[in-house]
Chain A
Amino acid sequence: MQQFLRRVKQIALPIAISSWLLLLFMMLMRTGGIPLQLSIPNWALLLTQGVFAAAVFMHRRYQPDPLRGTDFVGLLRRLLLGPGLLATICVGLHLVQRLTAAQPSNPVFFTIVYGLNLGLFIVFLAYTCYTWRALVLFRAPQLVHKQWLWFELILGATLLLRLLYIDIPAMLAGIILGGVAAFGVYLSTHQRWVAYLNRRQKFVVIMLQLALLLSLGIFCVYFLRIQFDPLLVAPEPQHAFLMLTVFFAAFYALMGMLVTLFNLPTAGVFEQKREEMLNMQRLTQEIQRGQTEAEIYQTLLDAAVQTLDADAAWLRIDGSPGYLGQLHNIEAEQAESVRALLDSYSITEIDYLNNDLGGSTGFQQLNLPFNSLLMMPLRSQKHLYGALFLFREPRQGFERENLSVLQTFVSQTMLSVENLQLTQAAIQNERYKEELKLASSVQDSLIPKTLPTDNWFEISSHAQAAREVGGDFYDFLHLPGRRLAILIGDVSGKGVTAAFHMAQMKGIFHALMQENPLAKDDKDRFPLPSKFMAMANRALVHCLEASSFITASLYIVDYENGGFVFARAGHCHTLYYHSLKEEVSYFRSTGLGLGIIRTDGYEKHIKNQFYDYNPGDVMVIYTDGIVEARDGNKEEYGEERLLAMLEKTYYLEADQIKQAILDDLNEFSYGQPIHDDQTLLVIKFKTSQPTSPA
């Protein structure tokens, strides 16, 4: 089938041309224009005529849709100025000639003109019918497409009526023709396209349809006149088919013209609605493109002014003092005076429409050049952003319906503004998060990743911040002579401030634990822990705010001599397992936190403690996040539980001891949020394997 149709498409034009030439040839033979004595039967002429009409219609049928987008005026103009004008001029000239010439013309010439006119008329009809098809099927449902196909088939069938010489009673023929004509009338009601024309286009379309009807009329007059001409050698053309197509073509044109004509009075309203729709669409698009609130508000103002045809407008935007918003054709003082007046009427949060400003005394005094005012607050569910004022010079300038259009505009705008604000807040939030992440990774880099290792001891560590950044810290520093400095501390408070102080403390640690090249005694080359704390206190006084303080403990382990010295500056007590005594206890030394005393006298409050360790001794260093962790009953983990844990685990490896303590702690505080940073260091001194120092 597909292939057959494609063939038809290809051969339709050659068949049309050749059948027309054949028809002319046969007619000329009849008139004696061609000296060939052959009697041409009527049926041959009719068949050729029918083939010609069918081929022309088929050719048009398979041409691409002549309608481009919604250019209906262009479509009609092309139809009229193309085949329409050509055919009409030919027929018209012939009519003029016949009306003016007294003598009947030469039969050969007459036949040629008749042949030409018949051909042109059929071509013109084919063009018209398929132009109407484009209009009938314009955005039509599938059902109409099917109906159109049936219409074509029935028209095709009427072509055959004459060919087959089927003799039907006049009544039946009348009914059939009337039925097909009614079908055409029904199809002519599909004038959907008219709604897409604007006022000016509607005028043009009416003119074009008139011209089209005129040319169809000229054809009809011609064929009616020629019907009885003695010179006519051809049998009557395919009357049923031609009549029906002419009827349909004319009726559709007439119907379209009438529909357009009756649409003219409402064209203005239509256009306004269309304008509103387009504005709405534009507003939605523009608003989505709007990068700033100012851009969005400008779009609203433009759309409102254009849609409601306002002479002046003011978009009041509250929030920034001294900023009035956007003004259009109105002075700032005038706008302010209107607002002040409305305020005095306490009209601020409701829609307000006044179509007769001259009639109210308040507005009379303002002496405005406008007589209509429409005010609408810009409001979201929880916030009043400002108001939109529209002015028109004529009285009764705004209608109630305008309010709903404007409301749609305004709510769309407010939605966009709030969306924009939300997006901006989200971006800001994201940025803070990103920065906090950065701070967190910076802080993480301050915590030593590799723990010191030596065969004299083993260290295991754990650190967990309550938030992204915390105030706990610990650090190690190898000192010459097989000594190791261990610092642990806790900055009061949490978050970024605490993290900064923690970084400061690390800096102080590294700065103060430098070798003093002037020291005479080996002992004095590095500061003792108490000295370190005193110096750190002095350094911190300048940067800690009054209510902040730092607790810290510094241990210097001398594993050459198997001893350590430490000072505790307000930090948690050190938990210790003495392997010789087989006893776990806290070193209960005294010592004041850093940053508490801001005058000189700190030295009095800090003491060094010396201790000689033995292999197997375990030292547990931690921050208060460990002992102050709470369970569901708000009870703290406490020093006693920690001590009991070490009593149970002292014989294990440092790593295992740490893990056992953490497991116990997590079980204790299960389901509770970590409310303070937790740091835990376990140091186990091992059996000495003395190797002589390098």
Chain B
Amino acid sequence: MKITQTPSDTTLTLVLDGELDASSSVLLDTELSNPAVLKYQKVLIDCQRLNYISSAGLGVFISHLQRFQDANVKLVFFNMQEKVHNVFEILGLDSLMTIVPSETEAAAL
């Protein structure tokens, strides 16, 4: 798992590359726990290269969901692969989180 940060004035983009399993989700949790993240208006998650997400990976997003909402930071996923999207959908997370097809749409939100 590789996580790349691309910050701009109001937006932080995290590019996830690889499999988000129990061990790599610790990395993601560290990134998202950083208080600096909450200064942005939007946090975009690029899921194009995210091949797999385990329940531990989902747990990381779930645990930060409330915190982001309270801080008025939008969490947006884009470029999500079909099978990863399916996992979000089955768990019902698509109704809680913003998942859009492309970066342009994510930026337009």
Q: Which residues of chain A have a CB within 8 Å of any CB of chain B? A: 490, 492-493, 545-549, 551, 569-573, 590-593, 596-599, 605, 624, 636
B83: nearest chain-A partner, CB-CB: A636
Q: Which of B56, B90, B95, B96 contacts A547 (CB 8 A)?
A: B56
Interface 9-mer from B1-9, B34-42, B58-66, B99-107: B58-66
A598: nearest chain-B partner, CB-CB: B66
Give bound CA distance, A636 to B83, whole Å: 10
The interface residues of chain B lying within 8 Å CB-to-CB of A570 are 90-93
Q: Closest Cβ of chain B: how far from A491's Cβ, in Å? A: 9
Contact between chains at A547 and B59 (CB < 8 Å): yes
Contact between chains at B55 and A493 (CB < 8 Å): yes
Grouping DSSP codes into helix (H, G, I), strand (E, B) and loop, the A interface class, with mixed when no group exceeds half, is: loop
Please, could you name 22 A-B residue pairs with CB atoms under 8 Å apart, sorted by A?
A492-B55, A493-B22, A493-B59, A547-B60, A547-B63, A549-B58, A549-B91, A551-B90, A569-B92, A570-B93, A571-B90, A572-B90, A592-B93, A592-B96, A593-B93, A596-B62, A596-B93, A596-B96, A598-B66, A605-B92, A605-B96, A624-B55
The interface residues of chain B lying within 8 Å CB-to-CB of A624 are 55
Q: Which of B63, B65, B66, B91 contacts A593 (CB 8 A)?
A: B91
Q: Which of B22, B55, B63 contacts A546 (CB 8 A)?
A: B63
Give bound CA distance, A592 to B60, whole Å: 16
Contact between chains at A492 and B92 (CB < 8 Å): no
The interface residues of chain B lying within 8 Å CB-to-CB of A546 are 59, 62-63
Give bound CA distance, A573 to B87, whole Å: 11
Give bound CA distance, A598 to B63, whole Å: 10
Contact between chains at A593 and B92 (CB < 8 Å): yes
Give bound CA distance, A405 to B65, whole Å: 68
Contact between chains at B95 and A493 (CB < 8 Å): no
Give bound CA distance, A492 to B93, whole Å: 14
Q: Which of A493, A547, A592, A598 contacts B91 (CB 8 A)?
A: A592
Give bound CA distance, A569 to B90, whole Å: 9
The interface residues of chain A lying within 8 Å CB-to-CB of B66 are 598-599
Contact between chains at A573 and B90 (CB < 8 Å): yes
Contact between chains at B63 and A492 (CB < 8 Å): no
The interface residues of chain A lying within 8 Å CB-to-CB of B93 are 570, 592-593, 596
Give bound CA distance, A323 to B95, whole Å: 60
B92: nearest chain-A partner, CB-CB: A592
Contact between chains at B96 and A492 (CB < 8 Å): no
Contact between chains at A597 and B96 (CB < 8 Å): yes
Give bound CA distance, A227 to B91, whole Å: 126
Give bound CA distance, A571 to B87, whole Å: 10
Closest 7 CB pairs of A and B: A592-B92, A547-B59, A492-B55, A546-B63, A547-B63, A570-B91, A593-B91
Give bound CA distance, A490 to B90, whole Å: 13
In this complex, the member of A492, A547, A570, A598 whose beta carbon has the largest number of chain B beta carbons within 10 angstroms is A547
Q: Which of A492, A569, A598, A599 contacts B58 (CB 8 A)?
A: A492
Q: Closest Cβ of chain A: how far from B4's Cβ, in Å? A: 23
Q: Closest Cβ of chain A: how far from B94's Cβ, in Å? A: 9
A548-B59, A551-B91, A592-B93 given; name 15 further pairs at CB < 8 Å.
Answer: A490-B55, A547-B63, A549-B91, A569-B92, A570-B90, A570-B91, A573-B90, A590-B92, A592-B95, A592-B96, A593-B92, A596-B91, A596-B96, A598-B66, A605-B95
Contact between chains at A493 and B56 (CB < 8 Å): yes
The interface residues of chain A lying within 8 Å CB-to-CB of B29 are 547
Give bound CA distance, A636 to B56, whole Å: 18
In this complex, the member of A492, A551, A596 whose beta carbon has the largest number of chain B beta carbons within 10 angstroms is A596
B62: nearest chain-A partner, CB-CB: A596
Chain B 19-45 per-residue mask, 1 if CB under 8 angstroms from chain A, else 0: 000100000010000000000000000
The interface residues of chain A lying within 8 Å CB-to-CB of B62 are 546-547, 549, 596
Give bound CA distance, A455 to B83, whole Å: 39
The interface residues of chain A lying within 8 Å CB-to-CB of B95 are 590, 592, 605
B91: nearest chain-A partner, CB-CB: A570
Give bound CA distance, A293 to B29, whole Å: 42
Q: Closest Cβ of chain B: how far from A632's Cβ, in Å? A: 16
The interface residues of chain B lying within 8 Å CB-to-CB of A493 are 22, 55-56, 59
The interface residues of chain B lying within 8 Å CB-to-CB of A591 are 92
The interface residues of chain A lying within 8 Å CB-to-CB of B60 are 547
The interface residues of chain A lying within 8 Å CB-to-CB of B63 are 545-547
Q: Give residues of chain B (70-101) contacting chain A, Cβ–Cβ below 8 Å.
A: 83, 90-93, 95-96
Give bound CA distance, A548 to B25, whole Å: 13
A548: nearest chain-B partner, CB-CB: B59
B67: nearest chain-A partner, CB-CB: A546
Give bound CA distance, A224 to B55, whole Å: 113
Q: Closest Cβ of chain A: how far from B59's Cβ, in Å? A: 3
Give bound CA distance, A693 to B90, whole Å: 38
B51: nearest chain-A partner, CB-CB: A634
B59: nearest chain-A partner, CB-CB: A547
The interface residues of chain B lying within 8 Å CB-to-CB of A573 are 90
B94: nearest chain-A partner, CB-CB: A590
Q: Closest Cβ of chain A: how far from B53's Cβ, in Å? A: 11
A498: nearest chain-B partner, CB-CB: B55
The interface residues of chain A lying within 8 Å CB-to-CB of B56 are 492-493, 547
Give bound CA distance, A596 to B60, whole Å: 11
Give bound CA distance, A551 to B91, whole Å: 7
The interface residues of chain B lying within 8 Å CB-to-CB of A492 are 55-56, 58-59
B55: nearest chain-A partner, CB-CB: A492
Q: Which of B22, B55, B83, B90 contacts A549 (CB 8 A)?
A: B55
